[in-house]
Amino acid sequence: MAPVAVEQPAAVVQNAQQDTKITLTQSHLKFINSQLQNLEPQQILQWAILTFPRLYQSTAFGLTGLVTIDMISKLQPQYAVAHPIELIFVDTLHHFNETLNLVDRLKKRYPSAALHIYKPENCDTVEDFNRLYGERLWETDEASYDFLVKVEPIQRAYEELGVRATLTGRRKSQGGKRGDLDIVEVEEYTGLIKINPLANWSFKDVHDYMKSNDVPYNVLLDRGYRSVGDWHSTAPVGEGEDERAGRWKGKAKTECGIHETSKFAKFLAAKKVAQQEEATA
């Protein structure tokens, strides 16, 4: 008799409190995405809350993330916890002041939403960061900069908080590598499950929801920005350009590394080898 092929799980999620596991194979992921494809974001959020233990929302308070927060706040009557999803925000120390002001406004608007803020390791201020790594590191070593201010802090957050699944604000209409985005993904390197509840919404859908529900937003939106990151790598978007065209303008780059963990695993491995070779020399 020929051996039976066993499909390897794409991810295994364990609930530490209930000691239960959720195993997702590639075929299971495909089936889940086919079922969620035609659901509204609110329905996807309800499904995610009921399905995944240790579910958080990682957000830089972009438009989609803000809409997600507001949608979750309106699910409150159905859950014992006022805001059932806790938030993770990575403060890169290089955000616009308008972004940091928005964080304060959101705390007042959604006081029951627990917010975890993570910064680059051993740094509280931009002066701390410059002292450790030098000024304008994004110009001299962009990969190291991305790792230090974004990838390492979010991975530390996932580890310390025991995150098994996270909601993101990515959408297909943002262009670039997000054009064929699934609603549910499994991160290749870490096995983290990522849910993109508004993956099928357009910029207009998001903007209309914000207006209808009076959702607080970054005032930079009124100045032509559509996707806001660090001040030194974000610009207003021109007429007819992709929504994220203002990020790293003039470069082929479209992602900072938070959603490219496998790429940064290779980067770290190469850097470690280089350091070992330097030490040997």
Which of 178, 166, 149, 154 lies closest to 255, judged by CA? Answer: 178
Q: Rounded CA gap, 83 and 86, in Å?
A: 7
Which of 100, 98, 89, 101 lies closest to 60, judged by CA? Answer: 89
| DSSP assigned state of 116 | E
- pLDDT for the residue 275: 65
Which CATH superfamily does the domain covering 26-280 fall into? HUPs (3.40.50.620)
* Helical pair 63-73 and 41-51, crossing angle rounded to 10 deg: 70
- pLDDT for the residue 19: 40
Q: Rounded CA gap, 75 and 82, in Å?
A: 9
The number of helix segments (H) and strand segments (E) in the chain equals 10, 8
- pLDDT for the residue 60: 92
Q: How far, CA to CA in Å, does 1 sit from each of 6, 8, 77, 160, 205?
A: 15, 21, 55, 47, 55
> Backbone dihedral region of 214: left (phi > 0), alpha (psi from -120 to 50 degrees) or beta?
left
* Annotated catalytic residue, options 256, 257, 259, 264: 256
Which of 229, 235, 234 lies closest to 257, judged by CA? Answer: 229
Which of 188, 209, 198, 192 lies closest to 43, judged by CA? Answer: 198
| Annotation says 123 is catalytic | no
* Ranges in the chain, pLDDT < 70: 1-22, 76-81, 175-179, 238-276, 281
Q: How crowded is the C-beta side of 211, counted as CA atoms within 13 Å?
A: 8
